[in-house]
Structure 1
Amino acid sequence: MTAIGGGHGRAGGGEHEWWSVDDPDEDRTWLFDVTFLSSNWTCLYGCGCNGVLDAPAPELAQGCCSYGAHLSGPEDVGRVEAAAASLTTEQWQHRQRAARQGPLKRQGG
């Protein structure tokens, strides 16, 4: 893999530094938010999180990221859609697809 030039975008109300890496084996480019990755944010999983199942089961490694986003109702959906609408093409890799299909995809029940 070869690192290629990073850039700046606006996300979350502040400047973000991005780093992209071409992966010729998978014919894709990986894009990393360096600002987020170098922030002091930490996932609680493995540090006291008992998982997201009905009973504590940390050994199964089922943290919240295993399920993706869950929305609590119409107001929550509206907030996510408004946030998605505020993103630029530079910030959101699949913005054109979302413009055609919508920013949210319902799966399951």
Structure 2
Amino acid sequence: MPTVREVDPDFPRDWIEFVDPADPKGVIRADLTWLLSSWTCVYGRGCEGVVEGRAEDGCCSHGAFYADDEDERRIEGFAEQLKKKHWQHAEIGRTQGISELDELEGEPARRTRTVDGACVFLNRAGFPGGAGCALHNLADRVGLHPLETKPDVCWQLPVRRTQEWVERPDEVQVLVTSIGEFDRRGWGPGGADLHWWCTSSPAAHVGADPLWVSYGPELVALIGQPAYDELARLCALRSTGRGPSHPATEQAR
């Protein structure tokens, strides 16, 4: 049984690197400890929310910052498909817009509008059209994957992708794509103030499948199918051996 609410983010991790099969100048660096964990989204079934007293908001209390203009336009397109009976805040979204200007890392940035302390797309508990993200619910209704209908930052969580050009000793540059856990620190300095964060909580490490399986479509979107196929092979191989396991997964067992 779990003995802690959240584990410390600093613990031994098992990382692996391999050349992207689709790009000889691309290198994938992946945190196998995270990808082999049993994390799963527990929204509505144990999620405590990032703001105290607002568990029903999940991680939607602050809205979602767009990755770029294309991300915002894509969400605008799906918002137009939402009917009022499926979107609690449709009137506000239609009249005031779904986005607003904020600040991210000291720079102006656009994100989804917030209404009464949470994202404009978050249907509150008890809404007849269905609680939770209206964009996620839309995907379920029309047979799409939620990564197609939600802002990039929403479907990428809890995976963190970073990319960096690295010059090797032979002066050849490679693009290193790192795939790891989006822990509290991924939120920046404000991450320490979150009421609760799922990736380090044993309460969220209760998935039937390891993360590399349950988040397969998202990982394909992040690194491409050829790289994911190799990553999946290495994860399956690693699962038969020994190595550092995620302490939150250990606590959940």
> What TM bracket, shorter-length normalisation?
0.3 to 0.5
Going by fraction, where is strand more abundant, 1 or 2?
1
Q: Normalized against structure 2, the TM-score is what? A: 0.18
Going by fraction, where is helix more abundant, 1 or 2?
2
User: Per chain length, whose mean CA-contact separation is higher, i.e. which structure has more relative contact order (CA < 8 Å, sep 6+)?
Assistant: 2
Q: Normalized against structure 1, the TM-score is what? A: 0.38
